[in-house]
Structure 1
Amino acid sequence: MSDREFGGTDDLSLPKATVSKIITEILATDTHGGIAFARDTRDLLIECCVEFITMISSEANEIAEKEAKKTIACEHVQQALEQLGFGDYVKDILEVASDHKKMQVHREKKQSKMEQSGLSEAELLRQQEELFRSATDKFNQGPQED
């Protein structure tokens, strides 16, 4: 399915830097060090990634619509992968989804602590700098004699 078939004329390509980073990381863990991708091969890989994401997204959307859901859930993506013959990837993808969910909860906790303070980011930064200054002053003064 091309982006024209998907119903849009927008450029649906992934950022080349993102795919390049993924390729570099894969090659770094590969035992065949020194191998590089030709530019046209890298471009083909980018197109394959876009096509794969488009295909899975479209299938997951159809599954969600059949269930009268307005939001595509992880289960819909799982079903899409299975229906399109990518069932072998489901276990790994569910692990990635679980890890992502845990990271999101951690980020939300951090953000909510900052929000709970009621202070602006600039004020929190000012307070942090003051605490560092105070700690540095105490350290530089050395031990206090009674």
Structure 2
Amino acid sequence: MDDDYETGGGAAEEDLSLPKATVAKLINEMMPPDIVCAKETRDLIAECCVEFIHLISSQANEQCEKEARKTIAGEHVIKALEELGFESYIPEVQEAYDDHLKTTKERIKGSQKKDTGLTPEELEEMQAALFAKARARMHSKDLTAEGAGGEPSASG
């Protein structure tokens, strides 16, 4: 790899890395307990992970551009894995993506209920009632203003 290689974001490649503690934890979880992994090996694995992420991201970005989209979606990543020959990763990635979508929907749905305790339908009904009340108040002010020679009423 060239030292002056630049990524799409303008950061020098050597500036890209993963959290060392996270990499060490993942390695320790994957290795048998009686095997120790040298620091240089952990660093090399982290570099390989960064390169893999860059490869998949670049391919997903190309897929995104083919579809004239501006945001890389999960589907683009899955297509990139397929195009690059990493089909065996797709089921697990698809499962993680589906879990992410489900969690996001639940979080959004939960935040709507958590804040008010009301369903979206109940909130819409309340909003419609408030708009109707505001329109009625506005209409009554207009009538009061017309009766006072066109000047808005200060009471109300």
Q: TM-score, normalised by structure 2?
A: 0.63
Is 2:14 the partner of 1:9?
no
TM-aligned CA deviation for residue 39 of structure 1: 0.2
What's the counterpart of residue 23 of structure 2?
19
Q: Secondary structure at the match of 2:72?
A: coil
Could you tell me which amino acid in structure 2 is paired with residue 16 of structure 1? K
Percent identity of equivalent pairs: 54
**Alpha-carbon spacing, 1:106–1:41, altered in 2? closer, same or farther (3 Å):** same
- After superposition, where does 1:36-115 map in structure 2 within 5 Å? 36-115=36-115
Q: TM-score, normalised by structure 1?
A: 0.67
TM-aligned CA deviation for residue 112 of structure 1: 3.0
Cα RMSD over matched residues?
Answer: 2.2
Distance 1:101 1:90 in 2: 16
Distance 1:106 1:20 in 2: 32
What's the counterpart of residue 129 of structure 1?
none
Distance 1:104 1:36 in 2: 38
User: Structure 1 stretches of 5 or more lacking a match?
Assistant: 118-146
Deviations 1:10-41 (A, max 9, x none): 522111112122222223xxxx3221210000
User: Structure 2 stretches of 5 or more lacking a match?
Assistant: 118-156
TM-aligned CA deviation for residue 70 of structure 1: 1.1
Distance 1:116 1:98 in 2: 28
What's the counterpart of residue 120 of structure 1?
none
Q: Which of the pair has more CA radius of gyration?
A: 2
TM-aligned CA deviation for residue 115 of structure 1: 2.9
Deviations 1:60-105 (A, max 9, x none): 0011101101111222111111111111111111011111222222
TM-aligned CA deviation for residue 44 of structure 1: 0.3
**Alpha-carbon spacing, 1:24–1:80, altered in 2? closer, same or farther (3 Å):** same
**Alpha-carbon spacing, 1:103–1:88, altered in 2? closer, same or farther (3 Å):** same
Aligned residues: 113
